[in-house]
């Protein structure tokens, strides 16, 4: 036990024959920081920094074991000598930080993600539900060879000094495909009853145990619930857990939910799920595991939640992926009694969306993600203190203001509104999106900590600028809604989404029955607005000129978007453009040349469209007032929240 406010979280635990310093773990997290399938410094730093930041066990992202099953150039391969030095250096650094590095061994089987592998090989001939890939059905010899491949990679990692491996048997990948009666349709020794379906993973674990040091950790991540008919449910997961635990070979169990079907939404439960949404499943598994440690995970975001999960015996270890993406120093801050300074994860899944577009992992408000020194990074002091005015207190302006102040500048932040947060504040008031306000709250707290002078209800006009007497101006005045094309031909209530949410208009309009939402935005905030409109009106129809909706929402959270919209009986009309509204009849053109159509009895049209920069200051006049003028966020170019906050950070670092 420790004298920390979280005594359970910071107590040691034996996992296999090793002792972990505390219960905090980074579960496997794809970063796409590798290049040409080789480890890079940033790949290592991501793991090292989380260990330096207080996580006792860090699990690497997926490591490929089979040359035929490598999805993309950013997947680290475990079967190639060229990665030995990278593994060794990462393990040594994590060892030195008092942590343990565990590598997640992975084979996708039929699950082909967004990037098909060279030669998909799987358990049975049923198509992958996401990509519809039909894999080559492995024969007995193929399976035995694959067992050898897994063992060889584990052996290599053992010799590189890693603390252990975790078998990736969750999320619908190959080991999961063997375990599940939903995907394993075999009638030979590798299928059928629970004993047959578990044979593959038992052979892997036994082979690795025989080939590696006695204290080499062997973990298994498997489903607690696949949430598909005929798949592994919590009862079956408990039976599998008990069966595997009885061998005494597996040192810990972790549980991921869902698989690569529509239940994928469960594997990174977003802000619409409850905190610790799947903890009850872990409690059941902990009983089944009979003393083998269980890692509880899934939308755990604060040290309080982690501590309570341990107290309530939901698990022995706590896995936090997204909370560690947003703050590498989660553990140290919690242990030092500075939990309020943890950069909060709001569980919107943008980071997950980045990597699933093949991009490097990126995060809203952690611009230092994956760089050396991330865990104890502070803005470096400026050479000379300056007077800086930040005009606009949305997330871009707030980030610029606190970061500049932390560097020693004297910062005045001007907000035209009586609240901080700009348009993000409106988004946070939408159904289910309240967590977004935690980003503003964190920035505000930092601004207070570093002494930013905040001026609320203080619009700055061009005339005011001259009187500010500052060295530097950072403009973060945001952007405003742009009326849709053909607005001039629309005769009827036509209002931007933001105005609808802001003002008295909503009280007037929402008494009407039928609303149309023009969606030329496709972000999560727009579907939060849609949820609000669906509650306000009897009937809601959403139009977009694209062939699909929710293209700016990560794939996992977009499942929830569709689920909520269809659940509320919202009608979705893709590939159309509104061209006229007269006497309540809205005329739509099909953008691909299909027949036009009309919607009758439309009471209100609400639009979310590409925004227009809101500035109003003459560049020449600005240049006379301050030596440096920087435009950030939407007022530079209207983009997303990540661009706004990162822009604020970089501007403050440039002052």
Ligand X SMILES: Cc1cc2nc3c(=O)[nH]c(=O)nc-3n(C[C@H](O)[C@H](O)[C@H](O)COP(=O)(O)O)c2cc1C
- Chain contacts with ligand SF4 (rule: CB under 6 A): 322, 325-326, 345-351, 363-364
H or E, element range at 311: helix 303-311
Site residues (CB under 6 A) for ligand X, limited to 305-364: 319-323, 351-352, 355, 361
- Are 24 and 56 in contact, with CB atoms under 8 Å apart? yes
Do β-strands 410-414 and 453-455 pair in parallel, antiparallel, or remain unpaired?
A: parallel
Residue 573 to residue 595: CA distance in whole angstroms? 13
Residue 55 to residue 324: CA distance in whole angstroms? 9
The binder of 364, among ligand SF4, ligand X, none, by C-beta within 5 to 8 A per type, is ligand SF4
Stretch that binds ligand X, among 27-35, 136-144, 398-406, 600-608 (CB under 6 A): 27-35
Kindly state the smallest distance separating residue 524's Cβ from ligand SF4, in Å.
10
Stretch that binds ligand X, among 298-306, 446-454, 455-463, 534-542 (CB under 6 A): 298-306
CA neighbor of 131 nearest in space, from 259, 37, 32: 259
DSSP annotation of 381: P
Per-residue contact flags (x/-) with ligand X for residues 49 to 88, judged by CB under 6 A: ------------xx--------------------------
Q: Which is nearer to ligand X, 46 or 617 (CB)?
A: 46
Question: Judged by CB under 6 A, does residue 90 bind ligand X?
Answer: no
SS3 223: strand
Among residues 16, 25, 27, 606, which is the contact residue for ligand X, using CB under 6 A? 27
Residue 595 to residue 614: CA distance in whole angstroms? 37
Nearest residue to ligand SF4, using CB? 351
Kindly state the smallest distance separating residue 246's Cβ from ligand X, in Å.
24
Q: Which is nearer to ligand X, 168 or 611 (CB)?
A: 168
Kindly state the smallest distance separating residue 237's Cβ from ligand X, in Å.
15
Question: Judged by CB under 6 A, does residue 30 bind ligand X?
Answer: yes
DSSP annotation of 360: P
Site residues (CB under 6 A) for ligand X, limited to 244-283: 256, 268
The binder of 321, among ligand X, ligand SF4, none, by C-beta within 5 to 8 A per type, is ligand X
- Are 618 and 462 in contact, with CB atoms under 8 Å apart? yes
The binder of 256, among ligand SF4, ligand X, none, by C-beta within 5 to 8 A per type, is ligand X
The residues near 53 (Cβ < 8 Å, ≥ 6 apart) are 324, 327, 328, 329, 330, 331, 332, 374, 375
Query: Which residue is associated with the tokens 């140290």?
Result: 332
Kindly state the smallest distance separating residue 591's Cβ from ligand X, in Å.
34
The residues near 367 (Cβ < 8 Å, ≥ 6 apart) are 645, 646, 649, 650
Distances (CA, A) of 350 to 271, 396, 557, 646: 11, 17, 9, 14
H or E, element range at 355: helix 350-355
- Are 370 and 31 in contact, with CB atoms under 8 Å apart? yes
Kindly state the smallest distance separating residue 342's Cβ from ligand SF4, in Å.
12
The binder of 184, among ligand X, ligand SF4, none, by C-beta within 5 to 8 A per type, is none
Kindly state the smallest distance separating residue 635's Cβ from ligand SF4, in Å.
23
The binder of 477, among ligand SF4, ligand X, none, by C-beta within 5 to 8 A per type, is none
- Are 398 and 413 in contact, with CB atoms under 8 Å apart? yes
Q: Which is nearer to ligand X, 275 or 421 (CB)?
A: 275
Kindly state the smallest distance separating residue 324's Cβ from ligand SF4, in Å.
8
Stretch that binds ligand X, among 86-94, 297-305, 604-612, 625-633 (CB under 6 A): 297-305
Distances (CA, A) of 272 to 269, 431, 564: 8, 9, 10
Among residues 298, 331, 360, 478, which is the contact residue for ligand X, using CB under 6 A? 298
The binder of 298, among ligand SF4, ligand X, none, by C-beta within 5 to 8 A per type, is ligand X
CA neighbor of 138 nearest in space, from 84, 185, 170, 105: 185
The binder of 348, among ligand X, ligand SF4, none, by C-beta within 5 to 8 A per type, is ligand SF4
SS3 content of the chain, % helix, strand, coil (to 5): 35, 20, 45
Distances (CA, A) of 241 to 282, 357, 457: 11, 34, 58
The binder of 221, among ligand SF4, ligand X, none, by C-beta within 5 to 8 A per type, is ligand X
Among residues 93, 97, 174, 297, which is the contact residue for ligand X, using CB under 6 A? 297
Return the axis-axis angle of helices 140-159 and 194-211, rounded to nearest 10°.
40
Q: What's the length of the chain? A: 655
Site residues (CB under 6 A) for ligand X, limited to 183-242: 221
Q: Which is nearer to ligand SF4, 220 or 323 (CB)?
A: 323
Residue 14, Cβ neighbours under 10 Å: how many?
11
- Are 359 and 597 in contact, with CB atoms under 8 Å apart? no
Stretch that binds ligand X, among 113-121, 166-174, 332-340, 502-510 (CB under 6 A): 166-174
Q: Which is nearer to ligand SF4, 90 or 350 (CB)?
A: 350
Kindly state the smallest distance separating residue 350's Cβ from ligand SF4, in Å.
4
Q: Which is nearer to ligand SF4, 165 or 271 (CB)?
A: 271
The binder of 326, among ligand SF4, ligand X, none, by C-beta within 5 to 8 A per type, is ligand SF4
The residues near 96 (Cβ < 8 Å, ≥ 6 apart) are none
The binder of 62, among ligand X, ligand SF4, none, by C-beta within 5 to 8 A per type, is ligand X
The binder of 42, among ligand X, ligand SF4, none, by C-beta within 5 to 8 A per type, is none
The binder of 209, among ligand SF4, ligand X, none, by C-beta within 5 to 8 A per type, is none
- Are 84 and 42 in contact, with CB atoms under 8 Å apart? no
Q: Which is nearer to ligand X, 306 or 626 (CB)?
A: 306
Interaction site with ligand X (CB under 6 A): 27-30, 61-62, 104, 168, 170-171, 221, 256, 268, 297-300, 319-323, 351-352, 355, 361
């Amino acid at each position: 036990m420790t004298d920390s406010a979280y005594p359970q979280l910071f107590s040691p635990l034996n996992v296999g024959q090793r002792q972990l310093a505390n219960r905090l773990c980074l579960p496997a997290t794809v970063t796409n920081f590798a290049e040409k399938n080789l480890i890079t410094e940033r790949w290592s730093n991501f793991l090292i920094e989380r260990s330096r930041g207080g996580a006792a066990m860090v699990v690497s992202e997926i490591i490929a074991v089979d040359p035929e099953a490598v999805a993309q150039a950013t997947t680290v391969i475990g079967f190639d000598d060229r990665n030995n030095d990278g593994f060794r250096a990462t393990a040594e650094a994590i060892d030195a930080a008092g942590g343990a590095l565990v590598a997640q061994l992975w084979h996708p089987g039929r699950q082909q993600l967004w990037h098909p592998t060279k030669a998909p090989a799987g358990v049975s001939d049923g198509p992958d539900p996401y990509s519809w890939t039909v894999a080559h059905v492995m024969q007995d010899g193929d399976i035995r060879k694959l067992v050898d491949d897994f063992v060889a990679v584990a052996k290599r990692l053992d010799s590189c000094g890693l603390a252990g491996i975790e078998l990736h048997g969750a999320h619908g990948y190959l080991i999961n495909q063997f375990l599940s009666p939903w995907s394993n349709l075999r009638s030979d020794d590798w299928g059928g009853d629970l004993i047959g379906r578990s044979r593959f993973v038992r052979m892997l674990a036994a082979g690795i145990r025989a080939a590696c040091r006695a204290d080499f950790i062997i973990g298994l991540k498997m489903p607690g619930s696949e949430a598909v008919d005929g798949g592994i449910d919590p009862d079956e997961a408990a039976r599998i857990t008990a069966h595997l635990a009885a061998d005494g070979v597996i040192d810990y169990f972790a549980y991921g939910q869902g698989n690569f079907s529509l239940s994928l939404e469960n594997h990174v439960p977003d802000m619409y799920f409850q905190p610790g949404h799947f903890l009850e499943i872990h409690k059941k598994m902990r009983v089944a595991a009979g003393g083998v440690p269980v890692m509880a995970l899934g939308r755990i975001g604060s040290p309080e939640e982690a501590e309570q999960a341990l107290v309530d015996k939901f698990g022995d270890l706590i896995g936090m992926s997204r909370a560690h993406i947003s703050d590498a120093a989660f553990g140290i801050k919690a242990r030092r009694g500075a939990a309020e300074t943890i950069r909060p994860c709001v569980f919107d899944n943008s980071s997950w969306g980045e990597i699933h577009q093949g991009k490097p992992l990126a995060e809203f408000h952690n611009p230092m993600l994956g760089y050396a020194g991330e865990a104890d990074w502070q803005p470096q002091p400026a050479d000379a203190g300056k007077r800086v005015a930040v005009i606009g207190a949305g997330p871009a302006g707030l980030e610029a203001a606190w970061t500049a102040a932390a560097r020693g500048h004297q910062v005045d932040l001007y907000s035209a509104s009586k609240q901080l947060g700009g348009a993000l504040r409106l988004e946070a008031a939408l159904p289910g999106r309240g967590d977004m306000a935690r980003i503003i709250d964190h920035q505000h707290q930092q601004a207070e900590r570093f002494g930013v002078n905040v001026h609320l209800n203080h619009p700055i006009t061009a005339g005011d600028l001259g009187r500010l007497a500052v060295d530097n101006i950072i403009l973060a005045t945001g952007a405003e809604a742009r009326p849709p094309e053909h607005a001039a031909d629309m005769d009827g209530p036509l209002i931007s989404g933001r105005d609808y949410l802001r003002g008295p208009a909503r009280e007037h309009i929402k008494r009407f029955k039928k609303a149309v939402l023009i969606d030329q935005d496709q972000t999560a905030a727009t579907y939060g607005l849609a949820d609000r409109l669906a509650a306000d009106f009897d009937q809601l129809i959403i139009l977009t000129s694209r062939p699909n909706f929710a293209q700016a929402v990560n794939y996992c959270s977009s499942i929830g978007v569709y689920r909520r919209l269809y659940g509320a009986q919202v009608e979705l009309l893709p590939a159309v453009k509104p061209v006229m509204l007269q006497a309540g009849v809205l005329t739509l053109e099909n953008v691909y040349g299909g027949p036009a159509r009309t919607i009758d009895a439309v009471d209100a049209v609400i639009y979310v469209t590409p925004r227009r920069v809101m500035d109003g200051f003459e560049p020449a006049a600005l240049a006379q007032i301050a030596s440096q003028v920087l435009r950030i966020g939407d007022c530079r170019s209207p983009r997303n929240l990540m661009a706004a906050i990162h822009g604020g950070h970089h501007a403050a670092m440039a002052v």
